[in-house]
Structure 1
Amino acid sequence: MNVRFSLTRGGAALALACTAHAAVAAPDWSKVPKRDIVVFSPGVTPMEWIMKKSDHSGRTGINKGESCVGCHEEKGGLNLDLKRMAGKEVEPVGAPKTLSFPVTMQAAYDKEHLYLRLSFKAPKDAAAGADREEKSPKHEVKAAVMFVGAKVPLAAQAGCWVSCHNDVRSMPGADPNKKKYVSGANLGGEIYADYFQWKSGEGGKGAVQLDGHVADSRVNKDGKALVKAEGEGKDGRYVVTFTRKLVGGEGDLPLAEGAVVPFGIAIHADQTIFRFHHVSLGYTLGLGVAADVKASKQ
């Protein structure tokens, strides 16, 4: 089955939104360079775990200014102890059979918009004990990108990991109602994370998009930068495209040509929610300038 999802924020404004979207010219993706980013099942490895030497020997390198990518990425893949990641020490509930997989990322921009394209095959082998969608429609797949303010401590080194802590919901013994947060958050001072997400719905029905941010807690709305999110799925393979304004409102990190922004990717597969996702390490996106991923000017 080949299904196409195209969505806007709110059915009542559908006609107006479609008119606005038509004016945004998507890039010719065949001419935009590709960059593979491996996502993996992180288990219970929040920032506190990363910064505890007895759990993560890489803490020493982080304290010296090294990035997670600089240590773990090798020849387009990741040098990780996946056997340890699948063990009870790191994932007490149970790890998925597919511990890692590549996401092909492309990025482009023009005077007003940033365009991101993610291509991947979503596994369907989450552990039996993983948290899953309970409300209808069930979202078979969710894809998210999180930008992190440069003033957030360790943003360029750890990416979206800065919003993951050992006291947030789904962590062992944590408050089931506590959402992700950024320590010392300040929306006015760009000490927060900006994220947007596409949710597939079930069987191609009920697809939605979120445009929010993570400061003192995660807010799944109120973003003004995301213009649209589109997804296409066929035989488990997905292509998700985001169109985002360079400048939005409160909670939207401002972007411009020459900017470099830390980011991370998260893919929820097999109807999973909360921490039962596959995530990337922290990377950087450059708009026309050198970075882990360089957006091409249109």
Structure 2
Amino acid sequence: MDSLARIEAKEAEEAAAAKAAQKAQREAVQAQIAAAVETAVAEATAAQDGASGASDAGGSGGGNVASNVDWNAVPVSDMTLFYPGQASFEWVQNGKTHGGARPFTKGGDACTTCHAKELETIGNKLVAGGELEPTPIPGKRGTIDATVQAAHDDENLYVRLQWADAGHNPAPFVDGGKMDPDNQIKVAMMITGDGIEYGDQAGCWASCHADNTYMPFDPGADAISGNADVAAQLEAKDTITKYLTESRTKVEIKGRRGKAQGGWDKLKPADEVAALFDDGTYLDLLRVYADGSATNGYLLDRRVKNDGEIAAEANLAGGMWTVVFSRPLASGAPGDVPLEAGKTYTVGFAIHDDFSSARFHHVTLNTSLALDDDSAQINVAKQ
């Protein structure tokens, strides 16, 4: 016990030192951004009114989305987003491929229980190529260190993410090296709804299946078109977007006797899917693009965009990306998970950097979020 206490004390000391170093680095970057913005605004013409001068790239700038928020007074959460490769939700639950499958499925462990302190190791291993990454991108980083801040007033949630740009590393399997040439970055936040098995343990990982785009059992356009009824219900042509297991009659996990993992074509009838949606069984999905445009939607049987409110901006200044977005706390709109005081929510973040798309992103593990609760990883502070 004495040895354990010494080890825990040493780990706590190392964690405190790392946190202090991250804070110092963050403050230095913020000073760099402030200087870049000041210079850009000074050089902007009166006609431009500074609207585009604050960015090196991207941007629906101007800081209007959260102009009422004092970000200096909002708690900062340091988040490590790591590269997941082809580690699907089926892979996670399969004891042959994932040693933590039984503690996860039988013991109730969350992904962070085992992996919170080894994300850098995991990301760097997967991004280099191997069984879980058959098409590596040379030079792509294994992790992204980001900061997340969240605030609210009586009506809206406001979220700000910041992380360092890493330059361009062309994808060798894409003409021109850019999978999504129109978007240097994309940011997604997913909020876990009700009735999702393992939802609180895994967060958005519950929607990542072995038959999604660029995954090992991606069925391809011919198989999709050959199953006309399912393709029509999913509005799918070439690929299968992320989905929840609850929307399928069966999802193959083990892949025994050559069976394809996943369950893209085992779709429940439309009325059953609609009933799940009415019960709040979905992932609320908010997405922001490099030009500051944004979409609101959800994941259930497929990825859907809806008319839910969202406002956003994205800017690159001083080598640092800043993405800010807001949405109503409780809009009442279908597909929006209402955020209420006294509740803790499981959320997940994804960053597609360097013109990437589909699974070639960086993601968080299950992350807790709550309003005015400093026990949550992300404390949404009242402003």
Task: Tell me which interval the TM-score lies in, with the shorter structure as reference length.
Answer: 0.7 to 0.9
Equivalent of 2:85 in 43, 46, 56:
43
Offset, 1:41: 1.1
Query: Which of the two has higher C-alpha Rg?
Result: 2
Q: 1:166 corresponds to which letter in structure 2? A: A
**Amino acid corresponding to residue 285 of structure 1 in structure 2:** L
1:192-225 CA-partner distances (Å, limit 9, x unpaired) = 1011111114xxxxx4211111111001x21413
Once superposed, what is the RMSD of the aligned Cα atoms?
Answer: 2.3
Comparing 179-188 with 208-217, greater Cα deviation is found at 179-188
Residue of structure 2 aligned with 1:177, choices 216, 239, 256: 239
CA distance in 1, matches of 2:198, 2:217: 26
2:210 maps to which of 166, 190, 193: 166
Within the candidate set 104, 108, 113, 2:147 is matched to 104
Code of the residue aligned with 2:308 in structure 1: it is K
The counterpart of 2:350, out of the listed 237, 257, 266, is 266
User: Where does residue 362 of structure 2 map in the other structure?
Assistant: 278
- Give, in whole Å, the separation in 2 of the partners of 1:170 and 1:223: 28
Deviation at 1:161, TM superposition (A): 0.6
Distance change (3 Å), C-alpha of 1:143 and 1:235? same
The answer for unaligned runs of 5 or more in structure 1 is 8-20, 202-206
What whole-Å deviation, never above 9, does each CA across 1:66-94 have from its counterpart, x for those lacking one? Answer: 111222123xx736434541332011011
Instruction: Work out the CA distance in 2 between the residues paired with 1:150 and 1:70.
Output: 22
Within the alignment, does 1:153 sit opposite 2:197 as a pair? yes
Moved more, 185-194 or 44-53: 185-194
Any gaps of 5 or more consecutive residues in structure 2?
1-39, 41-53, 220-237, 248-275
Q: Is the 8 A contact 1:229 1:240 kept in 2?
A: yes
2:5 counterpart residue number: none
Aligned equivalent of 1:230, options 299, 313, 327: 313
1:143 corresponds to which of 187, 194, 197: 187
- Pick aligned residue for 2:288 from 181, 193, 198: 198
* Partners of 2:293 and 2:313 within 8 A in 1: no
Counterpart check, 1:119 vs 2:162: yes
Amino acid of the structure 2 residue aligned with 1:197: R
CA deviations over 1:26-66 (Å, ceiling 9, x no partner):
32000111111101111001100111112111212212111
SS of 2:109 mapped into structure 1: coil
Aligned to 1:218: 303
Following the alignment from structure 2 to structure 1, what is the Cα–Cα distance between the partners of residues 151 and 124?
A: 36
Offset at residue 235 of structure 1 (A): 4.4
Bigger drift between 150-159 and 32-41 goes to: 150-159
Using a 3 Å threshold, how does the CA distance of structure 1 residues 80 and 150 change in structure 2: closer, same or farther?
farther
Deviation per residue, 1:93-142 (Å, 9 max, x gap): 114531112110011112211111100013333542368445xx611111
SS in 2 for 1:180: coil
**What secondary structure does 2:59 align onto?**
strand
Residues 255 and 39 (structure 1 numbering): CA distance in 2 closer, same or farther, change over 3 Å?
same
Q: By percentage of residues, which structure has more strand?
A: 1
Q: Which amino acid aligns with 2:92?
A: I
**SS of equivalent to 2:203:** helix
The corresponding residue for 1:66 is 109
1:81 is paired with a residue of what secondary structure? helix
Q: Deviation at 1:257?
A: 1.5
Number of residue-to-residue matches in the alignment: 274
Contact 1:72 1:79 in 2 (8 A): no
Aligned-partner residue type, residue 293 of structure 1: I
Q: Is the 8 A contact 1:147 1:262 kept in 2?
A: yes
Counterpart mapping for 1:54-93 below 5 A: 54-63=96-105, 64-74=107-117, 78=119, 80-85=121-126, 86-93=128-135
What code does the residue aligned with 1:89 have? E
User: TM-score scaled by structure 1?
Assistant: 0.84
| Residue 25 of structure 1: how far off its partner (Å) | 5.4
